[in-house]
Amino acid sequence: THSYTKYNSWDKIQSWIASISSSNPNLISKQVIGNTYEGRPMTILKLGKKSSSTKPAIFMDCGIHAREWISPAFCQWFVKEALSTYGSDSQMTSLLDQMDVFVLPVFNVDGYDYTHKSNRMWRKTRSKKSGSSCIGADPNRNWNAGWCTIGASSNPCSDTFCGYSPESEIEVKNVADFIRRNKSIIKAYLTIHSYSQLLLFPYSYTYDLAEHHSELLKVAEGASAALRSLYGTRYTSGPGATTIYPAAGGSDDWAYDLGVKYSYTFELRDTGRYGFLLPESEIKPTCEETMLAVKYIAAYHLYIF
Ligand code: 0X9
Ligand code: ZN
Ligand code: ZN
């Protein structure tokens, strides 16, 4: 059975998606944006109070990398908290009144399923191509943003294989198409990874500073301070290239260059003690503190629009 404080299998998340999306039709709806390589549906949950006018939106994905299990756990937590605190938490209420949040709970579904069934440390997609016996590409090296120029590998056997061309991975193509279709309303792009406790923003494919560098840094520092206020967890903010490492073809840089100004990559707990194998006892505190950072970024939008 599904639990917010456990790492749920894909089968459990899939039935959770079905039940939660039919639980409160006034606040949540679902939309399949395509299938994965192995044919599993990619479902986006749309959270927000129905409105007659066009609302701005935030897009958030979890589980780009298969082994980063705390990430899908956070997206599930976020959806639960949004639904259960709407009407009582004033910040969440005005957020969902004034904007929509698109949540993709598991981006790399095939890889996530594989980490539960065969190899806990799998990172990539599960696509195959004739010419190599190695499987998958890194879905965070496959976007059309300085594609495969730095910090990525053209070797299909590498964990950071950039793929055969930008958007060669169907999961990346499905999400990129969705964001392109909704480009006029999407004001922020949030992508949840682990681990290292970082809040990264563009660029990672170049050392050049983003045009909106100082505003991106200011918002990241505000979000990190909000996160820290709960349990004292420290996050470092900065551009990807200098804060973690240069790496091209990432979703954050792609979204930013498309025109989604507030584009952030979260690297959740911890700093390496457990790494990708973060104990289930840390799901609740990690999600509760991360909620504060995500709500901070969302509220910043309400304030400036
Ligand atoms: O390397 C990555 O894709 C991310 N780190 S992880 O350990 N979760 O794999 C960092 C992504 C930062 N952004 C870009 N490189 N565009
Ligand atoms: Zn990752
Ligand atoms: Zn809570």
- Rounded to the nearest whole angstrom, what is the distance from the C-alpha of residue 190 to the centroid of ligand 2? 13
- C-alpha 286 to ligand 3 mean position (Å): 11
In this predicted structure, what is the pLDDT of residue 302?
77
Please give the angle made by the CA atoms of 166, 210 and 297, to the nearest 5 degrees: 95
**Residue 250 Cβ < 6 Å to ligand 1:** yes
| Pick from 126, 115, 107: nearest CA to 59 | 107
- For 226-246, the pLDDT digits (tens) are 999 999 999 999 999 999 999
Residue 203 CA: which ligand 1 atom is closest? Answer: 16
Task: Report whether 138 contacts 123 (CB < 8 A).
Answer: yes
The residues near 135 (Cβ < 8 Å, ≥ 6 apart) are: 124, 126, 127, 128
User: What ipTM is given for this predicted complex?
Assistant: 0.97
Q: Which of 167, 169, 267, 289 is catalytic?
A: 267
CA distance 167 to 171: 8
Stretches where the chain sits below pLDDT 50 are: 305
Give 78-95 as a DSSP string.
Answer: HHHHHHHHTTTSHHHHHH
Q: Is 246 in the pocket of ligand 1 (CB under 6 A)?
A: no
d(CA 121, CA 201): 26
Pairing mode of beta strands 198-201, 236-239: parallel
167 as an active site residue: the answer is no
**How do strand 262-268 and strand 198-201 relate by DSSP bridges?**
antiparallel
Omega before residue 274 within 30° of 0, cis = no
What span, in angstroms and rounded, lies between the C-alpha atoms of 129 and 156? 9
pLDDT tens-digit series, residues 253-277:
999 999 999 999 999 999 999 999 9
d(C-alpha 125, C-alpha 37), whole Å: 8
Q: Is the CB of 145 under 6 A from ligand 1?
A: no
With the most atoms of ligand 1 within 8 angstroms of its CB, the residue from 244, 270, 277, 278 to mutate is 244
Kindly give the number of the ligand 1 atom that is closest to the alpha carbon of 251: 16
Closest-lying ligand to the alpha carbon of 286?
3
| CA 81 – ligand 3 centroid, Å | 6
User: What per-residue confidence (pLDDT) applies to 304?
Assistant: 52
Q: Does domain 10-304 have CATH number 3.40.630.10?
A: yes
Q: Where are the domains of the chain?
A: 10-304
- 160 CB less than 6 Å from ligand 1? no
